Structure 1
Amino acid sequence: MSYHRMAEVYDRLMKDAPYTDWVSWTKEVMAEHHPGAKTILELGCGTGEITNRLADSYQMTGVDLSEDMLAIAANKDKRHQIQWLLQDISQLMGLSGYDAVISFCDVVNYIVREEQLLSVFKNAYSALQTNGLFLFDVHSLRHISNDLVGQTFAEVYDDLSYIWFCDQGEEQNTVEHDLTFFVKSGELFDRFDETHKQKGYSIDFLKEELRQVGFNILDIHSDFSYNSSIEGDRIFFVCQKV
């Protein structure tokens, strides 16, 4: 799923996102399982908020399908010289030897076809060196059904407004996000619409797919906790290439 005009307003919509928590969790896991790591590849890096924060400690590469998002990310990169790549994460090319691959902010939920999901996992595996880590998160099925499907969200600012409908998708455990934006342009407001689709996956299904690729699952966390738990809104996987 590629963001289009939504890239213009993405950072404002995500201003309260827990980027600091993603970065802290990543560093904690890396310190425990791969303390000598130097290089990280981020799949679905968006506007580079996590990428840039981690670049203080690691050599970062950010991959995204949206050229607009990458342009914003690169503009933020004033001192780290991060490598920004326009690629589909289900069809990665030319990437290998990384100490870690990360994919956060429910990027994996945007992979709505199971065969594509397996490709993403295979690509993450191929991009890693032996003993490298693959860290990612997904929405829990409970969170999708209880907190997303059937909900409507809206915000109004002086120069930006949006309304966001979350509807049940055609398939089980899927959700369709229909968003309408009004962005001030001069004295008028410019309207644009986007539709995004996400799919939830059970923990058991994800474990099976990861093991099929060859990953060893070191741990499963929830909601930025470092303790082993699968009860939460956001589920984190810690996997290792063996």
Structure 2
Amino acid sequence: MSYGHFAYLYDQLMEDAPYDDWAGFALKNWQKHGPKSEKSFLDLGCGTGEISLRLADSGFHVTGVDLSPDMLAVAREKADNTGSSIRFVEQDMSELEMDDKYGIIGIFCDSLNYLESEEQVRKTFGKAVKYLVPGGLLMFDVHSIEKVANGFINRSFSLNGENVAYIWDSFSGEDPNSVEHEISFFVRDEQDGKYDRYDEIHYQRTFPVETYRSWLEEVGLEVVSITSDFLTIEPAEESERVFFVAKKSK
């Protein structure tokens, strides 16, 4: 899915997002399980580059990939402003074609949930195997089925900020464990003070934990850990976010 106007509002709306926790999760698991000689990071679904920037600050050679040219434009501007030498590439993660291999491939901030079909998810895992070095790690997080069913579906969210407001309604999608987000943004024009309206639809889908595990093993990845909600505990029925770490065999 390609973000439009949302890309330029994303950082305002996500200012409280736990980017430090995602970056910390990547670093902790790389230190515990990863190939120490290969300090490189491929950030799939990198969005506006917040996690890419943090890994670059930690000394990693970083490449960010996203389907949205608007998200990448914001990410490139941030990297330029901070002097970070991050390469950003516009691609679909399920059709990934790179010229390097990486010690870590990360798909964070539930970016994997934007893939609508089983085939796309499985192809993405296959691409990860192709572009990981021996001993490299694939890490990702996804919404739990509980989160989709009871945290999103038939719920409404709203924001009335100083310059940005939104009405966000979520409905059940056509596929099992999927959700459709209908979002109307109202953005204040700095020149005349009037508000412009933008409408977008975003679709997300998740799968059972054991399904993800089987798909990872199917492409030859060893599942190192499955945890929840930035903790070290296994997912429970009430968990909202599930984290996977899988390793490519040497």
TM over 0.5: yes
Match of 2:123 among 119, 125, 139: 119
Over 3 Å counting, the alpha-carbon distance change for 1:97 and 1:35 in structure 2 is: closer
Provide the residue aligned with 1:20 in structure 2.
Answer: 20
Provide the residue aligned with 1:48 in structure 2.
Answer: 49
- For the 8 Å contact 1:219–1:228, the answer to whether it is kept is no
Counterparts of 2:23 and 2:100 in 1: how far apart (Å)?
Answer: 22
Q: TM-score, normalised by structure 2?
A: 0.94
Counterparts of 1:182 and 1:101 in 2: how far apart (Å)?
Answer: 35
Which deviations, in whole Å up to 9, do the C-alpha atoms of 1:106-157 show, x marking residues without a partner? 0111111111111111111111011100000000101111111111000011
User: Quick one: which amino acid aligns to residue 222 of structure 2?
Assistant: N
Counterparts of 1:12 and 1:38 in 2: how far apart (Å)?
Answer: 31
Name the Cα RMSD after superposition: 1.1
Q: Among the aligned pairs, what percent are the same residue?
A: 41
Q: Structure 2, unaligned stretches of length 5 or more?
A: none
- For the 8 Å contact 2:35–2:135, the answer to whether it is kept is no
Compute the displacement of 1:25 (Å): 1.3
- For the 8 Å contact 1:96–1:129, the answer to whether it is kept is no
Provide the residue aligned with 1:150 in structure 2.
Answer: 154
Q: Structure 1, unaligned stretches of length 5 or more?
A: none
Counterparts of 2:99 and 2:137 in 1: how far apart (Å)?
Answer: 15
Counterparts of 1:35 and 1:240 in 2: how far apart (Å)?
Answer: 10
Counting only pairs closer than 5 Å after superposition, residues 190-201 of structure 1 correspond to structure 2 as 190-201=196-207
Structure 2 residue 77 is the aligned partner of structure 1 residue 75: yes
3-state SS in 1 of match to 2:85: coil
Provide the residue aligned with 2:220 in structure 1.
Answer: 214
- For the 8 Å contact 2:35–2:103, the answer to whether it is kept is no
User: Quick one: which amino acid aligns to residue 237 of structure 1?
Assistant: F
Which deviations, in whole Å up to 9, do the C-alpha atoms of 1:198-223 show, x marking residues without a partner? 01110111111111111000110111
- For the 8 Å contact 2:223–2:247, the answer to whether it is kept is yes
Count of residue pairs the alignment pairs up: 241
